[in-house]
Amino acid sequence: MLDSDVEVCAVYTQPDRPAGRGRKLRASPVKELALRHGLTLRQPADLETEAPYLSTLDIDLMVVVAYGLILPRAVLTTPRLGCINVHASLLPRWRGAAPIQRAIEAGDTRTGVTLMQMDEGLDTGPVLATADTLINECENSGSLHNRLATLGAQALRGLLARLDQTPVIGTPQAATGACYAQQLTRAETWLDWRSPAEVLERRIRAFNPWPLARSRLGDMDYLIRRARAKPSCTSADPGMVLAAQDGLIQVQTGNGALELLELQRPGGKALDTRAFLHGHPIKPGSIFTARGADHAQR
């Protein structure tokens, strides 16, 4: 937006949050950019009381990207042209908080960004523009997020240029195909080794870089950052380590095997399998479990 022919009247971002080991307040990258450019910055905990201030700006348009706060009706109706949301999916598929991760987890082969006229529903407004892209087979949510951020910025820039010429009328979203991208939780990151290897691989990619897939071996938790599904003809129990040598860790699943390519112990560095085994040997025949399953057995 700073590179386009619009005047940025104000920038909104959430309040500074505690971060890091010292839990010191940290500004968002949006705040840092706004301050570098001398822009008016607002950081309310909610937007219920912001409508009167926004009305003094006489704004044409509000653009919302991954803001994380609900816009009340009074705010939605303040700009002359309303509010536009840049959403990281091809609506109506994957409405909600985690569209990038859920698309990878579900095995979608395509995704994209949607520029949507906001209404009071959850990502239900008319579509103004879309841009799509393939999801690469080895892509995680971090790399896809970065590609969609660029794609969304390009689409937004094009839409802003068109708004100068003529009003853009949105198209109602399709009546079918809607689904909800539920927010991620740490509880769902524990791998269930009874699942097929392909499903586990997708979950590992979807949860990288946050909150990261994990499993327990003995009394130690392991973060699994990269893996690859492979066929397996053994009758071993799900979770059993089939091989752990020469840079290879192979684990039986409910259907096929999973090769672990990058692991991390909590508080440690992320390491490829060869480097990891040098410092943390794993015995074939040992069993990876989900923490919930381990507790249930006790």
Task: Go through the domains of the chain in sequence order and give each one's CATH number.
Answer: 44-181 (3.40.50.170), 186-297 (3.10.25.10)
Q: Helices 99-106 and 197-206: crossing angle, nearest 10°?
A: 160
Residue type at 209? P
What pLDDT is stored for residue 293 in this prediction? 52
> What amino acid is encoded at 142 in this protein?
G
- Note if the bond before 211 is cis, omega within 30 degrees: yes
In angstroms, what CA-CA distances link 42 with 23, 46, 71, 141, 297? 22, 11, 14, 29, 51
Instruction: Kindly give, in sequence order, each residue whose CB lies less than 8 Å from that of residue 127, ignoring residues fewer than 6 positions away.
Output: 91, 114, 115, 116, 117, 170, 171, 172, 173
* Cβ proximity of 184 and 98 under 8 Å: yes
Tokens standing for residue 286: 């040992």
Distance between CA atoms of 254 and 192, rounded to whole angstroms?
9
Query: Which positions of the chain have pLDDT values less than 50?
Result: 294-298
Q: What is the pTM of this model?
A: 0.93
What per-residue confidence (pLDDT) applies to 266?
85
Q: Which amino acid is at 138?
A: C
Of 284, 183, 269, the residue nearest 225 (C-alpha): 269
Q: How many residues appear in the chain?
A: 298
Q: What pLDDT shows up at residue 294? A: 44
DSSP codes, the chain: -TTTT-----EE-PPPEEETTTTEEE--HHHHHHHHTT--EE--S-STT-HHHHHHHT-S-EEESS--SPPPHHHHTSSTT-EEEEESS-TTTTEES-HHHHHHHHT-SEEEEEEEE--SSSS-SPEEEEEEEEPPTT--HHHHHHHHHHHHHHHHHHHHHHHTTSPPPPBPPPSS---EEPPP-GGGGB--TTSBHHHHHHHHHHTTTTT-EEEEETTEEEEEEEEEEE-----PPTTBEEEEETTEEEEE-SBSEEEEEEEE-TTS--EEHHHHHHHS---TT-BEE-HHHHHHH-
